[in-house]
Amino acid sequence: MDLGTQETILRLVNQHGAERLLVLLGAPDAESAEISAETVILGDPTFAGPLAETQLGLDVYHILEEEVRQSIPEAVWEDQVGLMADVLEAEEIGTAVRGMRDRRGVPS
Amino acid sequence: MSPVFDGKFVIALGERDGVAGPAIATCAKAAGSEVVFSATECFV
C-alpha cells in the first residue's frame, strides 16, 4: 500500500476513531486484497510505511463481498462494479479478506 | 442502513486492475455512507 495512503489512514483514525471507519477494497486478486486488509488490521507487512507495527484493527471488506453488495442499490452496484464482478474471483477474494477480518483482536 | 456500513466513514481503496476508488466511493455513498478518502492504487 502506498506510503501516502497509509499516512492518510493513520490521520483518519486519529480524527474519527478506528471503530467509526470502514475500509472498502477494490483489489483485483486474493493476494493483494489480503495484503491491503492485513495492512489496516495488523499493520504494514512490508514494515515500510507509517502503519508498520501499528495494529489499527479496522473493519475491512472487499467491494465484491455479498454483505457489501446487499447494502448497495442494485442499479448502482451493477453500473459501478458489475463488469469487474464478472472478471474477478470474488469468492477467493472474499475468503482472503474474511480470513484477515477473523484475525482482528487475535495476538499475532 | 446495513450492518456493514452502519453509519461508518468509508475509506475507498481501489486498485487499477480491480475496482477503482471512485467506483467504490459511489457505491458507498449510494449505501448512505460518507466517504472520507478515496484512492486508486497500482499494486506491485
pLDDT in tens, B1-42: 568 898 899 999 999 999 999 999 999 999 999 999 999 998
Mutate to test the interface with A, among B5, B6, B13, B34 (most CBs of A within 10 A): B13
User: With 70 as the cut, is the pLDDT of residue A69 above it?
Assistant: yes
pTM of the model: 0.94
Cell 489480503 found at:
A34
- Quote the pLDDT of residue A12: 98
Percent residues over pLDDT 90 in chain A: 92
Interfacial B residues in 15-34 facing A (CB < 8 Å): 15, 17-21, 23-24, 26-28, 30-31, 33
Q: Are A60 and A41 in contact (CB under 8 A)?
A: yes
Percent residues over pLDDT 70 in chain A: 96
User: With 90 as the cut, is the pLDDT of residue A39 above it?
Assistant: yes
User: Is A33 inside a domain boundary?
Assistant: yes
CA B18-B24-B29 angle, to 5 degrees, is 175
User: Is A9 inside a domain boundary?
Assistant: yes
Q: Are A12 and B37 in contact (CB under 8 A)?
A: yes
User: Is A106 inside a domain boundary?
Assistant: no
* Whole-number Å distance between alpha carbons of B29 and A7: 23
Average pLDDT estimate for A69-73 = 95
- Quote the pLDDT of residue B36: 98
- Quote the pLDDT of residue B44: 59
What is the total count of domains within chain A? 1
User: Is A90 inside a domain boundary?
Assistant: yes
